[in-house]
Amino acid sequence: MLVSAKEMLDKAKAGHYAVGQFNINNLEWTKAVLKTAQELNSPVILGVSEGAGKYMCGFKTVADMVKAMIESLNITVPVALHLDHGTYDGAKACIEAGFSSIMFDGSHYSIDENIEKTRELVATSHAKGISIEAEVGSIGGEEDGVVGMGEVADPDECKMIADLGVDMLAAGIGNIHGKYPENWPGLRFDALDAIQQKTGAMPLVLHGGTGIPADMIKKAISLGVSKINVNTECQLSFAAATRKYIEEGKDLQGKGFDPRKLLAPGFDAICATIKEKMELFGSVDKA
């Protein structure tokens, strides 16, 4: 069932667990997330970056594929189709294309411009029953070998953006996209606590879910995180399983080159990673 992310996240915040956002890249990825969520009776969010949207032939193709797959696989758990780190134009395009949730990442604008654009997109998305995530502070990450630590969000700015009526709020708390460097100092729980004190019932979003140790994930959930984004970890498990299949020469045996066989170990690996995350996040049987 395709739904906005609002209700599932409000329930998660009240119930002290988190819903996973798993980014999708193609049909196999989408099927892996949907089937695992159904099997575990868990709500789920499919994340689509603008790059992945382009790769999959546009947002409309993605929305139509997801809707059709929910129907043909008889998926009854709540599923949100969410734009990840959307630009202003990308957010508008996804609202038109049939997404049920969007993220507008205005964190690189001045706080005034972030507020102005977020306010407009809150009105546009809510008019169509679509949920919206905003971001304050930046999520670090690696680009061309340079690791940025990200900018820790200011609790007062978080409150200003939360008050615009967004449904979920991403706040930079020392989290990073991709693998964490050896010398990563960990999440800033002091900042997270200050943010949750100011924003009350607002579900908070933790980006960069790949590689955060289980105890830090649990602590973050106890401090108000209700949505956790995971992307790289599924890519790594897919790649490792596919590499193993090829290295063992399985593609050279019989019809092992058939893409439905070649991609199967990677598919199973994505399912296993998602299952592990849903169990850790506490969303199993919360559909």
Contact 101, 4 (CB under 8 A): yes
The stretch near ligand 13P (CB under 6 A) out of 37-45, 66-74, 183-191, 226-234 is: 226-234
Distance CA 10, CA 222 (A): 14
- In this structure, what are the phi and psi dihedrals at residue 80, rounded to the nearest 5 degrees? -110, 140
Q: How many residues bind ligand 13P (CB under 6 A)?
A: 15
Three-state DSSP at 44 gives strand
Three-state DSSP at 64 gives helix
- 227 lies in the binding site for ligand 13P (CB under 6 A): no
Contact 40, 17 (CB under 8 A): no
Give, as one character, the DSSP assignment of residue 2. B
CB of 258 to ligand 13P, least distance (A): 30
Nearer to ligand 13P, 41 or 232 (CB): 232
- 277 lies in the binding site for ligand 13P (CB under 6 A): no
Using only C-alpha atoms, the chain has a radius of gyration, in whole angstroms, of 18
Name the active-site residue from 10, 84, 156, 215.
Answer: 84
Residues 190-209 interacting with ligand 13P (rule: CB under 6 A): 207-209
CB of 67 to ligand 13P, least distance (A): 22
- 133 lies in the binding site for ligand 13P (CB under 6 A): no
Contact 21, 234 (CB under 8 A): no
- 233 lies in the binding site for ligand 13P (CB under 6 A): yes
| Nearest CA-CA partner of 122 in 149, 143, 92 | 92
The stretch near ligand 13P (CB under 6 A) out of 184-192, 229-237, 264-272, 273-281 is: 229-237
The answer to whether residue 84 is catalytic is: yes
Contact 74, 108 (CB under 8 A): no
Other C-beta atoms within 10 Å of 232: how many?
A: 16
Interface mask toward ligand 13P for 62-101; x: CB under 6 A: ----------------------xx----------------
CB of 279 to ligand 13P, least distance (A): 17
- 210 lies in the binding site for ligand 13P (CB under 6 A): yes
Candidate list 150, 178, 203, 224; residue touching ligand 13P; CB under 6 A: 178
Helices (H) and strands (E) in the chain, counts: 12, 11
- 231 lies in the binding site for ligand 13P (CB under 6 A): yes
Tokens describing residue 22: 């798993």
Q: Which residues are catalytic?
A: 84
Sites of contact with ligand 13P (CB under 6 A): 23, 47, 84-85, 177-178, 207-210, 229-233
